[in-house]
Structure formats: structure tokens, C-alpha cells
Amino acid sequence: MGLMEGKRGVILGVANEMSIAWGIAQQLRAAGAELAFTYLNESLEKRVRPLAESLDSKLILPCDVGSDEAIATTFKEVEKVWGKIDFVVHSVAFASRDDLRRPFTETSRDGFAMALDISAYSLVAVSRYAAPLMTDGGSILSLTYLGSVRAVPNYNVMGVAKAALESCTRYLAAELGEKKIRVNCISAGPIRTLAASGVAGMREKIKYMDVHAPLRRAVDQTDVGKSALYFCSDLSSGVTGEIHYVDGGFSTIVNV
């Protein structure tokens, strides 16, 4: 019997087959989980629907996490069909390319608010609507990056948003623990995806891993997916509020 047999959950953040959320979904499905997928808009639906259907998903719903109403509608639909859920994967982030390409001091007020809204506040809003469906406890997982705790070149406003996301993880964990809902965050190393293409120098950051990370390689979507399986399953039953690095050990070393 698979580790996730009998468990159901929602995956937010698949854009295409390169998405980290897709790597996570494949691991969860292989372990027996039943999955619902959300997509941002109609043009992404065309990519997400066939991927979701290839993992036998019957619940494929629109959800712009910039709207509380949209999040509420999505989880209402999930509740109508499934009644309860066991996990949610939040693999969503956004910052305007303009803001990511400017010096940090030139970050726009609107761009700052937008990056924090979509990339950090959305975890709070998603948890608000998902938690009532986790009637037997559950697991909420999101994705962060080292730029939250170090000033990584070009990561800029997204680093600030990830710091907020990690803090939200701890506050959500503190509040939802009594409902047996665990809230954790995976800090992934750099991986080539659509979102990563917005950050200048990503290719170089990935190459740097091959030489400098203790494991002498960059991680990929499968590495993150396997750790996500740990967090979404009962294997991590005693773990909450954790920022867990899946980066080949890079965050633990200093190169001098």
C-alpha cells in the first residue's frame, strides 16, 4: 500500500512540466494520493489540464491567489466533491520582471506589494480556506528560496517576499497545530523553471551548484518532490513550522 493511499490534496502552482509543483505532484501520485490541481488562467489551463489528467485528476480548477473570492470558490468546489482534504501544496510566486531587473533601491511600491501579496499573503489566505477541510488534520507545504535569509544577487523583492512567506509558515504552524495541521516550507536550490527565468543569472546559479554544493550538483524537481512527499505524508507527523533546505547542502557551507 502506497504512503499516500487514501489521502487527497490540492496542488497550486503547476504551469508546465518544468514546474516544481509538477515534480511534487508526480511523487505524491506515485505514492497513491488523489490530486486536485489549480491553474492561474485560461492560457495555462491548456497546459495544466493534460498534465493533471495524466495523473488521473478529476478536479482541475481555476484559482488566482490574488483574489480571496477565487480561493474561497476553489476550496468550496473541492469540499463539494471530496468533503475533506489531507494536504495542500502552495507552489506559487510572482514578482514583476521590471522590479527584478532594477537595482533593489528602485523597487516600486506597487511591485513590492504585488510580490508580497501573491507570494506570501496568499499562503495565509489559502490556509484560511483549506484548514476547515482538514478535519482529520493535514499538511500545508510551500516553496521558498535561500534569498529570504541571504542577499542573493538579482533576487531582490522576491527575497523579501520569501522572508515573509517563511514567517507566515511559522505563525500558521503555531495557530493550526492544535488542529493537527502541520505547516512547512521547502527551501529549494535553483532549478530551471518559468518563474526562475525572471531572475537574471539563474543559469549561472545552477552551474555554481555543480562545483560548490556539497553534493556537487544542482537539485531538480524530483529531489524536491521526494522531500514534499515526506512533508505531505505521515512520515513527518512530528514536524511543523520548519524551513527545510533541499539544495544539495549549499546553504550549510561558506566558500572562502
Q: Could you confirm whether 155 is annotated as catalytic?
A: yes
Contact code string over 39-58 relative to ligand NAD, x by CB under 6 A: -x---x--------------
Query: What minimum distance in Å lies between the beta carbon of 51 and ligand NAD?
Result: 11
Contact code string over 197-236 relative to ligand NAD, x by CB under 6 A: ----------------------------------------
20 to each of 27, 77, 100, 220, how far by Cα in Å?
A: 11, 24, 20, 8
Toward ligand NAD, which CB reaches closer, 16 or 237? Answer: 16
Q: In the 8-state DSSP scheme, what is residue 246?
A: E
Q: Given candidates 59, 141, 168, 188, which one binds ligand NAD under the rule CB under 6 A?
A: 188
Query: What minimum distance in Å lies between the beta carbon of 144 and ligand NAD?
Result: 6
**Contact between 65 and ligand NAD (CB under 6 A)?**
yes
**Contact between 13 and ligand NAD (CB under 6 A)?**
yes
108 to each of 14, 105, 111, 198, 245, how far by Cα in Å?
A: 28, 9, 5, 16, 30
Task: Write b or e for each residue in 204-214: b if 16 or more Cβ atoms lie within 10 A of its Cβ, otherwise e.
Answer: ebbebbeeebe
Measured distance CA(56)–CA(33) in Å, rounded: 10
**Contact between 196 and ligand NAD (CB under 6 A)?**
yes
**Contact between 123 and ligand NAD (CB under 6 A)?**
no
Q: Which of 39, 121, 129, 155 is catalytic?
A: 155
Residues in Cβ contact with 191 at an 8 Å cutoff, skipping those fewer than 6 apart:
20, 206, 218, 219, 220, 221, 224
**Contact between 195 and ligand NAD (CB under 6 A)?**
yes
Toward ligand NAD, which CB reaches closer, 66 or 137? Answer: 66
Q: Cell numbers 505521515 label which residue?
A: 234
Decide: helix, strand or coil at residue 140: strand
Q: What residues act catalytically?
A: 145, 155
